[in-house]
Amino acid sequence: MARQTGIIKLKGTIGDISFYKTSDGHLAREKGGIDKSRMKNDPAFQRTRENGSEFGRAGKGGKLVRSAIRILLLNAQDKRVVSRLTTDLLKVVKTDAINERGMRTIEDGSMGLISGFDFNTNGKLGSTLFAAYSNDFNRVTGEATVNIPSFSPTVRIAAPAGTTHFKLVTGAAELDFAGETSTFENDETAILPYDSADTGIVDFVSALTPNSVLPVIQVLGVEFYQEVNGQMYPLKNGAYNALAVVYVDTI
């Protein structure tokens, strides 16, 4: 892989060289690789096929998670969230001690490994929200709760410059990785002033399916706003909003 320089940037293929654009800039690489039929059938590539299968499973799992929490993720994600989440879910797949290599799954692995995952590395929850909170998931009732005692926003929230208001958001997602479906419910506060006055007690409740046997994740986040002439605008298009997995529950 090489980086393209100069005024004119190329896209496409010339001879054996492919030119393409990524978030890292304009790159070029030589075409190559192994024949597809050989990759699928040659015993020498058994490990490669197994790795590819599990990587694909992690990728699909990441897509399911992102789709489930999309309503919140739209306001708090970085450019590398897809690859970062896939990498972490692949680690989960590799902890599956039930299925054979190549057939290992996310749901049979240690999903607790993604607890603390930040969807936006530009605004990590742990370095943004310093208010104490507790959370729980009742599998019998299907209720996912987050409780935050009263706090002073300017003391307990590290907000980017220009912030005049903020909002706390939460959600819970029930994930069926095998069926590639999900159920999601969310809750949020009103848009609150970013000042030193204490907030009220925050009690979030997200109701999922009672007695579900599927994995459940809870997310918590902070969104920042700037008031201009009485209108609320997402601060810097949400570039510093925080959203993270704060709880994982599996059977």
CA 170 – CA 161 distance, rounded (Å): 24
- Residue 94 DSSP symbol: T
Structural contact between residues 167 and 221, judged by C-beta atoms closer than 8 angstroms? no
Structural contact between residues 225 and 164, judged by C-beta atoms closer than 8 angstroms? yes
What residue segments make up the domains of the chain, in order of their start?
Answer: 1-32, 36-249
**Is 13's pLDDT higher than 90?**
no
Q: What is residue 17's three-state secondary structure?
A: strand
The enclosing H or E element of 11 equals none
Residue 45 is predicted with a pLDDT of: 53
Residues 193-227: tens digit of each pLDDT = 999 999 999 999 999 999 999 999 999 999 999 99
The enclosing H or E element of 84 equals helix 81-93
**Confidence label for 34 from pLDDT (cuts 50, 70 and 90):** low
Residues 55-99: tens digit of each pLDDT = 999 999 999 999 999 999 999 999 999 999 999 999 999 999 999
Q: Any idea which architecture 36-249 has in CATH?
A: Sandwich (2.60)
Residue 23 is predicted with a pLDDT of: 72
Residue 35 is predicted with a pLDDT of: 59
Cα 232 to chain centroid, rounded: 26
**Confidence label for 117 from pLDDT (cuts 50, 70 and 90):** very high
CA 180 – CA 161 distance, rounded (Å): 40
Structural contact between residues 241 and 224, judged by C-beta atoms closer than 8 angstroms? yes
Q: Which token pair is 230?
A: 């009485």
End-to-end CA, the chain: 44
Whole-model pTM: value is 0.83
Residue 14 is predicted with a pLDDT of: 73
Residue 165 — φ and ψ, nearest 5°? -145, 165
Structural contact between residues 181 and 130, judged by C-beta atoms closer than 8 angstroms? no
Tracing tokens 């890292």 back to the chain, one arrives at 24
Structural contact between residues 116 and 129, judged by C-beta atoms closer than 8 angstroms? no
CA 222 – CA 158 distance, rounded (Å): 10
* Closest to 248 measured CA to CA, from 111, 64, 153: 111
Residues 19-31: tens digit of each pLDDT = 778 777 777 776 6
